[in-house]
Amino acid sequence: MKKYLTALIAMDNKEGKLAKFAGPVIEAESFEAAQTWCNLHARYLIVEQEISVIKTWEQLASAN
């Protein structure tokens, strides 16, 4: 399965403006299937892009 980054647009309570925030990574067969899942189960999410590698903070820190 491919992995897709999602996002949501909500009010930033610090700035008082709409802002884009990262959402969860979801798995689906295609970009369209990922967006369909969001439309059915989490209508506030939009699919941003397919991602190929996920690194944790620990992995990033140990690389230096």
Per-residue pLDDT tens digits for 4-62: 999 999 999 999 999 999 999 999 999 999 999 999 999 999 999 999 877 788 888 88
**Parent domain of 7:** 2-62
The predicted pLDDT at position 63 comes to 76
C-alpha distance across the termini of the chain, in Å: 30
Number of domains in the chain: 1
42 Cβ neighbours under 8 A, 6+ residues apart: 6, 23
